[in-house]
Structure 1
């Protein structure tokens, strides 16, 4: 089931731009290489530079889609991005499009920055995956007291299988808004692209969170708590779904708890849930 996305044009333009930016290195300026990540900048004529990080996750252990799961999961991001604070899913338009609110940490006395945006994922094959986010204005999510609303022009990932492994490209252009010390702004712009390397390090050490596939019910919400290794999915309507489980994340297997109508099986790294009928919550955590 899908719900009309009022921000569909905005996020699809962002996806097209992400594909254009990551298609080659034309117009990108290499600024430095740090911790195995090449850092680039590019200007589109605005006051806000576009920054880019490039690295390769070597080996054949992971697919592009699995790396994308780590890159886009707020539960994983709390581990690999020290500036990330929280993200909340506010509306699911389809299995690949969501409206979200998120907040990033800032050092005192700088006010925390938050944003409202839409994310879109495209994973046409195991060999390539895209994920993009862009700010939108939505009447259901007004300004939050104590936060300064930043504007995310674009933030996105391209994950592509290569002979060496999975090439990771991460691009961001953001207006943090308000008054910000120049030193902090410069430091932030330099650190953002390094997230490409942080994602590679995370998946090498931990594997990936449960990946939902082939869902025919309506997705209501989805969260992952890395500390508890718990993935919780709320569904509605009728249908079935399945989750691909990382044996590295769950070396001793998983414990599944299902609340609502339906039944599940766990075999060959898959948790399969059938007979969903009405509100249903699926919890997957380490055994």
Structure 2
């Protein structure tokens, strides 16, 4: 464990950007998929990518705690069940503090033989704003502990983040989940981008289905 995160500034910038996406009113409805409502909007000039910015919205009806939801989002074993493109990850460093900050090497399946698998050098943290609202944020960084891997394309995450907020309507113990994705997959063919652009944000729905069926991470 390292005392402090050398990428703290990048994480702060990503969190601020996540808050900007949360407040944005220009997302356009795309589809309902996997139990989530999916929205998108074009990328910005300062963050080049052929992938639109995605947003997925779903609701957890069962009475989990905020900490249980956040822990399940971060759990590798569970994610393999609710994110079909997630291949695995290795935590390379953990940092002091109560925000669960880590440095992670994350792997994403390709589509052999057409598309190589992607990998990411990521730092991540949790932000508990209150008992009724929290965030999980991820962003790409460069770190010598995670060099590029032969046979994979090093993709870039501008911001991937979850907003978990106590539902204002309906069951008093339910949570609204919003999943934002702004990623540069680095050369992914446009035909595949069109599929992934809706599929990835819809993980908000598959996460809810997984959580309500299997329960939260043990010990969370």
In structure 2, runs of 5+ residues without a counterpart are none
Choose between structure 1 and 2 for higher RCO, CA contacts under 8 A separated by at least 6 residues: 2
Give me the whole-angstrom Cα distance separating, in 1, the residues matched to 2:54 and 2:129: 25
Partner of 1:62: 64
Correspondence 1:53 to 2:56: yes
Give me the whole-angstrom Cα distance separating, in 2, the residues matched to 1:140 and 1:155: 21
Partner of 2:157: 152
| CA deviation profile, 1:208-230 (whole Å, cap 9, x unmatched) | 113xxxxxxxxxxxxxxxxxxxx
Partner of 2:125: 120
Give me the whole-angstrom Cα distance separating, in 2, the residues matched to 1:17 and 1:86: 26
Give me the whole-angstrom Cα distance separating, in 2, the residues matched to 1:199 and 1:76: 9
Partner of 1:39: 38
Deviation at 1:120, TM superposition (A): 1.1
Give me the whole-angstrom Cα distance separating, in 2, the residues matched to 1:181 and 1:43: 17
After TM superposition, list the pairs within 5 Å mapping 1:83-98 onto structure 2: 83-94=85-96, 95=98, 96-98=100-102
| CA deviation profile, 1:252-276 (whole Å, cap 9, x unmatched) | xxxxxxxxxxxxxxxxxxxxxxxxx
Give the alignment's TM-score, normalised by structure 1: 0.69
Deviation at 1:64, TM superposition (A): 2.6
RMSD over aligned Cα atoms: 1.7
Correspondence 1:190 to 2:198: yes
Tell whether the 8 Å contact from 1:15 to 1:120 is kept in structure 2 after alignment: no
Give me the whole-angstrom Cα distance separating, in 2, the residues matched to 1:188 and 1:113: 13
Q: 1:55 to 1:63 in 2, by over 3 A?
A: same
| CA deviation profile, 1:117-169 (whole Å, cap 9, x unmatched) | 10011124331110000000112221111111001111010111113310000
Give me the whole-angstrom Cα distance separating, in 2, the residues matched to 1:75 and 1:36: 21
In structure 1, runs of 5+ residues without a counterpart are 211-242, 245-287
| CA deviation profile, 1:168-198 (whole Å, cap 9, x unmatched) | 00001111113x3321121111100110001
Partner of 1:141: 146
Give the alignment's TM-score, normalised by structure 2: 0.89
Deviation at 1:45, TM superposition (A): 2.3
| CA deviation profile, 1:98-123 (whole Å, cap 9, x unmatched) | 10001000111111100101001112
Aligned with residue 183 of structure 2, among 174, 177, 188? 174
Give me the whole-angstrom Cα distance separating, in 2, the residues matched to 1:145 and 1:2: 28
